[in-house]
């Protein structure tokens, strides 16, 4: 099956051609084009929805054209069009959804609507290489930790059809905590990668920041208290020099990573999990990946850890296509609507 996937939920405009045969356990990428208006938002500390949507309107057709050209496939060989219907910014979602509907009508193709959050999870089911056989196989049951700019969720997957939400953030998402604390330190938006770089040379013991909800018995998260604690420290300091900023970055990252790992491993133990999947922009954080691997090893857990290639952690259409290939539930184009509030069922 070959799918054209479209993703426009936030500031990216992305189109991808992906393929998978029925019996295959991984998705192949034939093309994946991502264009972003991030530069226009980097100084404002967050995405400005109407600017993002205007840029997406300009980018959507050229991006789809490039994805088809790169894949070298013919439109007639496409089996379906997959599109992110939510959650996200309404103006941005509408551009992807309405374009998908117009193309489906024009080309007479079915549409598969995709939840963006599950797309992040399914980035793990994309083959890392076109030629080499991937050695590690994802075994069920699975816990997916989805950590992005807008979401922090733990999801239990008994198989591809049995997906259950276990918990999520009660306030800020993990990526949002990185970004808001970055703003406090005058770092450009989004701040996650910059904070990761700074943390490499910072003193992780310089500040004793809280680890919110780390011991709670549920699988929920909260990061607004950490942001408030960082703010209090910044206010106390008269001259926020580079060294202090670097130390704050190191301590904030440590706190976020500790909470994410403790909760995910607790869920993994409770449900007898065989594989942990990381997904979302924060999953590209190498320290998070390394610490996860170390914890699993030190605790001698029989769990395999998976994380997508870095460019597939942040928003992209290939992950949307990957979800669709495992769930080819076709809906008539007239019934497809963008839903900014979409969450887990």
Residues that bind ligand KG4 (CB under 6 A): 10, 148-150, 175, 178-179, 190-193, 196, 280-282, 284-285, 314-315
Residue 117 has which token pair? 């959050």
The nearer residue to Zn ion, 99 or 148, going by C-beta atoms, is 148
Partner touching 196 among ligand KG4, Zn ion, none, CB below 5 to 8 Å by kind? ligand KG4
State in angstroms the smallest separation of the CB of 314 from ligand KG4: 3
Handedness of CA 242, 248, 252, 255 (dihedral sign): positive
Q: CB of residue 91 vs ligand KG4: minimum separation in angstroms?
A: 16
Q: What is the DSSP letter of 314?
A: S
DSSP 8-class letter at 126: B
**Residue 7 within binding range of Zn ion, rule CB under 5 A:** no
Closest CB 342 distance from ligand KG4, rounded Å? 13
Minimal distance, residue 122 CB to ligand KG4, in Å: 13
Closer residue to Zn ion in complex, CB, 41/245: 41
H helices then E strands: how many in the chain?
Answer: 10, 10
User: How far, in Å, CA of 321 to CA of 274, rounded?
Assistant: 25
- Of residues 19 and 284, the one with the C-beta less far from ligand KG4: 284
Q: How far is CA 60 from CA 12, 112, 336, in A?
A: 10, 18, 18
Query: 186: buried, middle or exposed (CB in 10 Å: 19+, 13-18, 0-12)?
Result: exposed
Backbone φ and ψ for 76, nearest 5 degrees, come out as -65, -20
Residue 91 vs 280, nearer CB to ligand KG4: 280
Looking only at residues 105 through 164 of this chain, which bind Zn ion when binding is defined by CB under 5 A? 148
Q: Is 309 left (phi over 0), alpha (psi -120 to 50) or beta?
A: beta
Smallest distance from ligand KG4 to CB 63, Å: 16
Residue 321 interacting partner from ligand KG4, Zn ion, none (CB closer than 5 to 8 Å by kind):
none
Which of residues 31 and 152 has its CB atom nearest to Zn ion in the complex?
Answer: 152
Q: How far is the CB of 34 from ligand KG4 (least distance, A)?
A: 10
Which of 140, 96, 104 has the alpha carbon at shortest distance from 315?
96
- Decide which of Zn ion, ligand KG4, none touches 168; Cβ closer than 5 to 8 Å per partner kind: none
| Closer residue to ligand KG4 in complex, CB, 153/233 | 153
Q: Does residue 275 touch Zn ion according to CB under 5 A?
A: no
Q: What is the SS3 assignment for 205-220?
A: CCCCCCCCCCCCCCCC
In the complex, least distance from residue 7 CB atom to ligand KG4, rounded to whole angstroms: 10
Q: Does 176 bind Zn ion (CB under 5 A)?
A: no
Residue 83 near residue 319, CB atoms below 8 Å: no
| Residues of span 10-29 touching Zn ion by CB under 5 A | none
CB 89 within 8 A of CB 47: yes
Other CB atoms closer than 10 Å to residue 257's CB: what's the count?
22
Identify the CA nearest to 264 among candidates 121, 116, 146, 112. Answer: 146
- With CB under 5 to 8 Å by kind, the binding choice for 92 among ligand KG4, Zn ion, none is none
| 296-315: contacts with Zn ion (CB under 5 A) | 315
Which positions touch Zn ion (CB under 5 A)?
A: 148, 315
């Amino acid at each position: 099956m070959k799918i054209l996937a479209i993703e426009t939920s936030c500031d990216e405009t992305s189109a991808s051609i992906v393929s998978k045969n029925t019996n295959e356990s991984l998705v192949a990428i034939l093309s994946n084009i991502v264009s972003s208006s991030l530069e226009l938002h980097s100084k404002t500390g967050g995405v400005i929805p109407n600017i993002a949507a205007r840029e997406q309107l300009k980018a959507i057709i050229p991006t789809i054209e490039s994805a088809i050209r790169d894949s070298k496939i013919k439109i007639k060989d496409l089996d379906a069009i997959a599109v992110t219907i939510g959650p996200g910014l309404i103006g941005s979602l509408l551009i992807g959804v309405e374009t998908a509907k117009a193309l489906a009508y024009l080309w007479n193709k079915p549409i598969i609507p995709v939840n963006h959050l599950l797309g992040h999870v399914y980035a793990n089911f994309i083959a890392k290489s076109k030629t080499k056989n991937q050695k590690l196989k994802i075994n069920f049951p699975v816990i997916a930790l989805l950590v992005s700019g807008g979401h922090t969720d733990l999801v239990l997957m008994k198989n591809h059809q049995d997906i259950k939400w276990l918990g999520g953030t009660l306030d800020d998402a993990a990526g949002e905590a990185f970004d808001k604390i970055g703003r406090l330190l005058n770092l450009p938006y989004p701040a996650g990668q910059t904070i990761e770089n700074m943390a490499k040379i910072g003193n992780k013991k310089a500040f004793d920041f809280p680890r919110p909800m780390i011991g709670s018995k549920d699988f929920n998260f909260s990061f607004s208290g950490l942001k408030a604690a960082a703010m209090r420290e910044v206010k106390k300091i008269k001259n926020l020099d580079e060294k202090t900023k670097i130390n704050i970055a190191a301590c904030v990252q440590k706190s976020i990573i500790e909470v994410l790992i403790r909760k995910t491993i607790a869920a993994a133990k409770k449900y007898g999990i065989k594989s942990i999947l990381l997904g979302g922009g924060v999953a590209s954080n190498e320290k998070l990946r390394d610490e996860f691997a170390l914890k699993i090893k030190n605790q001698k857990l029989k769990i395999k850890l998976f994380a997508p290639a870095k460019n597939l952690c942040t928003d992209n259409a290939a992950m949307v296509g990957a979800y669709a290939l495992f769930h080819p539930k076709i809906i008539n184009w007239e019934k497809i609507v963008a839903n900014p509030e979409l969450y887990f069922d």
